[in-house]
Structure 1
């Protein structure tokens, strides 16, 4: 009955005012006696159990009202600076979550003790005990003049009953599990999504962008995020100038988060993000196809200009990247490998150095750096690349690191902390300086990969059987196009076949001018 007062047949919530503040409250309310010892407000019910349930909300409202009156009168609110340990946000949430888990394990069927005490079940009895604990603490806070009494009561009860789940409860567990299941790059993208959503949630509440959007998000309650907010989030992201593909990528982790929280019984509601990216994905696919039609392989003249360019001469901002730019353009053209696959190469990913499996060395794309499952592969290195690879290996092994990177200039960067991130920006600078800004949206580093595929096809048409489409797909790390290839054929091609494809591509598919440009780094090394 703490905090309740029967008046007639109706129960009232009763807020006791500390003795040292009774005169201040009397002044704030303007009562004739000058002193207010308590404030009461009806719970609107004559049923004791229902009154106990409503008591928390009414007391919180009363406390808020009293503090508002005091502030308006130029007087300090009831609270002081001291706060007990259990008022700490993390402690409060932890205790309430433990109470929620304990209640789930209890029966909601009445037993003999409940019938005697008047409770409906063991679960309702324990829930009432937790509520009494919170009310006792609220009374202590009020007596000590501590702030946040109403917020503490409502938040504790809400977490305990499952009607209020702070994002912090979900995020701590979800992120921990995600780190075990997905790559570091994916976790970084998750954090980017959370920052965007934290920003928008604050803005939608009229608070502006917070200094730390994730910290702001952590103290919000999932159940109190209106569906209209989730519905308008994609529109807000689009207004920030983001592409449909990027907007879809930002929303997807949020859908995964809600699915996980629902599966773990942390929240009961349906996932508001279901279907949120369907239209975006269609728009993104249309834009991708439109852009794909614009993007192409490098023309012969463009390749010659890039391969013979000296980044030291007039190409502002890229002079310190001369070596990696010069080396990686050649490796990309002769292997068809992706930007980050090459920038992240290590000593251990140079394979066949003993020559046991054939003529040529090779590079390995591991699962950690592969874009897709089919991207895990090994690609032979053409002899034209051996001066670069041998020089890079010597420098890497000289560091004494067990598996040193071959391109230490390519520092991790961007959301996914990929080594290709900063390099991509420097190549763009070089490409614009050499080919002009008119090359924007038409060619990029990925165009080396397109040129590789183009030269493969030309070599096959010229009679090099090993350069057929199925071999080119394997070397590029693409998904097999037929069920026969995917199910009934060996996963890895014979190394000798891959070697002949690489050699044949350069000899029969590559223009003579490009071959000459490739030779500027040194004479081809004889076969090993």
Structure 2
């Protein structure tokens, strides 16, 4: 019956004919099924449909025949079922929707994850990807030498995509659910800083040029992301209700946040304020806080990240400071909604989930003062 099984386990109808010129012409049509009996049935229906179409020599000889006679000679054929859109098309719609709330870098990363998946398994209708396909993709990632953290990013982001597809397309199942790697806790470049590493970090930061010093110490005392700090303007350091804080926002065209939930006010710890930060801010009034850093498509933190990687005092990356603050909040029993308000939103590495509602700035100040009390004088 001209059945052909693709490497991905999907049955196709395949027919090869030879043209008068001697060239071969191949016709291939996906039957959208992994079951051979179902595929046979679909081929039979397809061939029956083709045979039922009138051929030129079946048309009435008398062109003046009555309309009802013509209708008898030309049987009706069922309308062809529209083809399901390919994953590449659907993912474009998905990314267009997410562009309303995601930062450019997040969109770029997601596009790369989807592109890798399509390259590995082929561009098909979303419902055609089965559990075996997804498990094979995971196995390929495991064999690629990528770290468990990177593999989990692929699986998590693609799970988000297929959850969205399941809500927008018939027959789509999110086979990525439950495939995340379960890792034993380990000390790595993204674990938090120990007390000794914090002391070493602060001593190192004090020896740097002013803009580098303050970027480093803001990371330690706020847990803010690198780009959230690097894109600050002087007027983003605000005195609200008697409390000095960072207004992390996307108030200007060159300011971007990872998600809409990242906008927040973060009180500054008294140890940090005693080290002369406000004087530094006043000296840069009317402009960016760190104009030494140029703007790129993905924000202001690229040059800082490169420099920090070369000169960091301990074998931990800058994002580890965020984990350090998160761990300190957790160890001090800080309620979930307060920790989330300080950090911006979900952070799986410290097991804080999404939060709702506003938290008073005064309460956040109390929480930060208590939880970060062991972070010695930054001055």
TM tier, smaller: 0.5 to 0.7
1:239 Cα offset (Å) = 1.7
Match of 2:266, SS state, is strand
- Residues of 1 paired with 2:329 and 2:127: CA distance? 56
What's the counterpart of residue 216 of structure 2?
A: 329
- Residues of 1 paired with 2:82 and 2:338: CA distance? 55
Q: Which of the residues 354, 376, 379 maps onto 2:267?
A: 379
Q: Which of the residues 269, 290, 315 maps onto 2:186?
A: 290
Report the TM-score, using the length of structure 1 for normalisation: 0.46
Q: Which of the residues 356, 362, 370 maps onto 1:494?
A: 362
1:269 has 2:137 as partner:
no
- Residues of 2 paired with 1:262 and 1:114: CA distance? 46
Q: 1:377 to 1:119 in 2, by over 3 A?
A: farther
Match of 1:180, SS state, is coil
1:246 has 2:130 as partner:
no
1:196 Cα offset (Å) = 1.1
- 5 Å-filtered alignment, 1:71-470, equals 124-125=77-78, 127=79, 161-163=81-83, 165-201=85-121, 217=123, 222=126, 228-265=132-169, 268-271=170-173, 273-274=174-175, 276-281=176-181, 283=182, 286-287=183-184, 289-291=185-187, 295-299=192-196, 301-310=199-208, 322-352=209-239, 357-358=241-242, 360-366=243-249, 369=257, 373=261, 376-380=264-268, 382-384=273-275, 385-394=277-286, 396=287, 404=288, 406-407=290-291, 409=293, 411-412=295-296, 417-431=298-312, 435=313, 439-440=314-315, 443-446=316-319, 448=321, 469=334
Cα deviation digits, residues 427-467 of structure 1 (max 9, x gap): 12212xxx4xxx42xx4434555666899999xxxxxxxx9
Preserved contact between residue 246 and residue 267 of structure 2 (Cα < 8 Å):
yes
- Residues of 1 paired with 2:178 and 2:74: CA distance? 52
Q: Which of the residues 329, 343, 348 maps onto 1:477?
A: 343
- Greater RCO, 1 or 2 (C-alpha within 8 Å, sep 6+): 2
Cα deviation digits, residues 365-414 of structure 1 (max 9, x gap): 238636794873332471431132223335x2xxxxxxx5645516447x
Match of 1:494, SS state, is helix
Q: 1:226 to 1:363 in 2, by over 3 A?
A: closer
C-alpha RMSD over aligned residues: 5.0
Preserved contact between residue 332 and residue 342 of structure 1 (Cα < 8 Å):
yes
1:491 Cα offset (Å) = 1.7
Which consecutive unaligned segments of at least 5 residues does structure 2 have? 1-14, 25-42, 56-67, 251-255
Preserved contact between residue 345 and residue 406 of structure 1 (Cα < 8 Å):
yes
- Residues of 2 paired with 1:451 and 1:258: CA distance? 33
Preserved contact between residue 298 and residue 448 of structure 1 (Cα < 8 Å):
no
Preserved contact between residue 336 and residue 475 of structure 1 (Cα < 8 Å):
no
Q: 1:198 to 1:113 in 2, by over 3 A?
A: farther
Preserved contact between residue 375 and residue 478 of structure 1 (Cα < 8 Å):
yes
Q: 1:492 to 1:372 in 2, by over 3 A?
A: farther
What's the counterpart of residue 88 of structure 1?
A: none
Preserved contact between residue 392 and residue 407 of structure 1 (Cα < 8 Å):
no
- Residues of 1 paired with 2:44 and 2:323: CA distance? 74
Which consecutive unaligned segments of at least 5 residues does structure 1 have? 1-12, 30-42, 56-111, 128-159, 203-216, 311-321, 397-403, 459-466, 520-528
1:187 Cα offset (Å) = 1.9
Match of 1:378, SS state, is strand
Cα deviation digits, residues 285-304 of structure 1 (max 9, x gap): x34x3237964334264135
- Residues of 1 paired with 2:327 and 2:156: CA distance? 35
- Residues of 2 paired with 1:278 and 1:223: CA distance? 18
- Residues of 1 paired with 2:159 and 2:69: CA distance? 44
- Residues of 2 paired with 1:345 and 1:113: CA distance? 80
Cα deviation digits, residues 204-226 of structure 1 (max 9, x gap): xxxxxxxxxxxxx4xx5556667
